[in-house]
Amino acid sequence: MKRMALLLVLIIIQLFIAPNLMARDPFKGLDAKWKIRVSDLNSQWDRMEADQKEKWARLKADVERKWDKFVHSTNKDWVSYSPEHDARSRVDFEKGKIVIEAIVPEDDPKGMEKAGKMVEDQAEKIFKKKDPGKKRVLGSQVKTSLGKEVKPANLKKYLKDEVLPDVKPDPLPFKSRDGVERRKYTAHIELVPQHIRIRAERYLPVVEKNAARFNLKPQLILAVIHTESYFNPMALSGCNAVGIMQIIPRYAGKEAYRFIYHVDKPISHEYLYDPENNIELGAAYLHLLKYRYFKDVPGELKNRYVFVCGYNWGPTIMRKKIVNRFPISTMSDEQVYMLLREKTPRETADYIKKVRERMPIYDPFFDRG
């Protein structure tokens, strides 16, 4: 009888009480909401990336319809086209050179005159361009032959006196996809010799602030920026890395933003083109690499070499291919450096060499006696 009674009680619990407990389980609802939230965020990322690809494809198609070659922005080059895609400028922030080109139909009797006007308009556009931080992209980086800084106030005179007279037509015309024969006209402008230093000094306040905030050496952040983009705030690489520290929005950008603001959200290119936002997220990601991903790598220099490589190559593959395979803890600083130079891809091997060599360049910025 006792066994029968116990069995009856268990059946009652199973039929009536357990389902009610499960129905009131708060975690079940939270889990469902979380899955919806993640799905919604992924959809937003997908839409944003699809929009970027569509814009890129549209620009490429419009350019190739008229030009012999599609030239686009990179980590070190800022390329900008006129609204009608008849003129373009390319600023090389590594070599300190500006090339402005215009194309005119070969049968146009006023080809030279029209090309000069297009070159002038495109030059005015880029010299007046400001980044989202409200700083002129080319500010303090071009001087007249008399040594005066080129500013919006004297820009027209500078172009008329020193740029437009040197516009040169290509020897031969070309025919593009629309079947029109055109001739290219080109002007060249040099940046001042110390152009990289000028741009670096522009970002010193935000670099110092984030270096202190994320417990990093400011020289390291500056060396990383130098290596990533040559302080080009308009940088955009083929792998969708954006801005001065070359942040990939969906990966390093998302992780750094979550670390700082404790929320997930899609990060736009416009947000990352702002140097303050970009340096904040880049410094936060370096912090995560140093103090989270590779905190087990002992020694200041060894740790730095490893996490800097992780910034370029990615932390997961860096852990798998290097940290888990080699006895880094028993190796000297120089042995680890040479290991990374030999066992990482060519790009990463060159990257750590450049960052290491460039850090001392910025020591004078912080030698304040």
How confident is the model over 246-297, as pLDDT tens digits?
Answer: 999 999 999 999 999 999 999 999 999 999 999 999 999 999 999 999 999 9
Query: Mind listing the pLDDT tens digit for each residue in 169-184?
Result: 999 999 989 999 999 9
357 plus 253 within the same structural domain? yes
Say if 48 falls within a structural domain.
Answer: no
Residue finishing a domain among 165, 193, 221: 193
Would you state the pLDDT for residue 21?
46
**Closest to 186 measured CA to CA, from 112, 125, 129:** 112
Query: Mind listing the pLDDT tens digit for each residue in 187-227?
Result: 999 999 999 999 999 999 999 999 999 999 999 999 999 99
Helices 204-213 and 195-202: angle between axes, nearest 10 degrees? 50
Residue finishing a domain among 136, 159, 193: 193
Task: Indicate if the pLDDT at residue 9 is higher than 60.
Answer: no
223 plus 328 within the same structural domain? yes
330 plus 222 within the same structural domain? yes
Name which residue leads in pLDDT, 311 or 20. 311
201 plus 282 within the same structural domain? yes
Say if 256 falls within a structural domain.
Answer: yes
Say if 254 falls within a structural domain.
Answer: yes
235 plus 359 within the same structural domain? yes
Say if 87 falls within a structural domain.
Answer: yes
119 plus 231 within the same structural domain? no
Which domain, by its residues, includes 89?
62-193
Say if 45 falls within a structural domain.
Answer: no
Sign of CA dihedral 108, 113, 119, 124: negative
Q: Which residues of 308-318 are buried (b: 16+ CB within 10 A; e: fewer)?
A: bbbbbbbbeeb
Least confident of 2-16, 29-43, 252-266, 268-282: 2-16
249 plus 336 within the same structural domain? yes
Say if 52 falls within a structural domain.
Answer: no
Number of domains in the chain: 2
User: What is the domain-level CATH number for residue 354?
Assistant: 1.10.530.10
**CB-CB contact of 104 with 183 (8 Å):** yes
Would you state the pLDDT for residue 39?
75
244 plus 355 within the same structural domain? yes
81 plus 212 within the same structural domain? no
217 plus 338 within the same structural domain? yes
212 plus 275 within the same structural domain? yes
Q: What is the mean pLDDT of residues 90-112?
A: 97
Say if 32 falls within a structural domain.
Answer: no
Q: Torsion angle of alpha carbons 270, 273, 275, 281, nearest 10°?
A: 80
**CB-CB contact of 225 with 358 (8 Å):** no
**CB-CB contact of 244 with 235 (8 Å):** yes
124 plus 246 within the same structural domain? no
pTM: predicted TM-score of the whole model, two decimal places: 0.88
Give the bridge partners for 183, in sequence order. 104
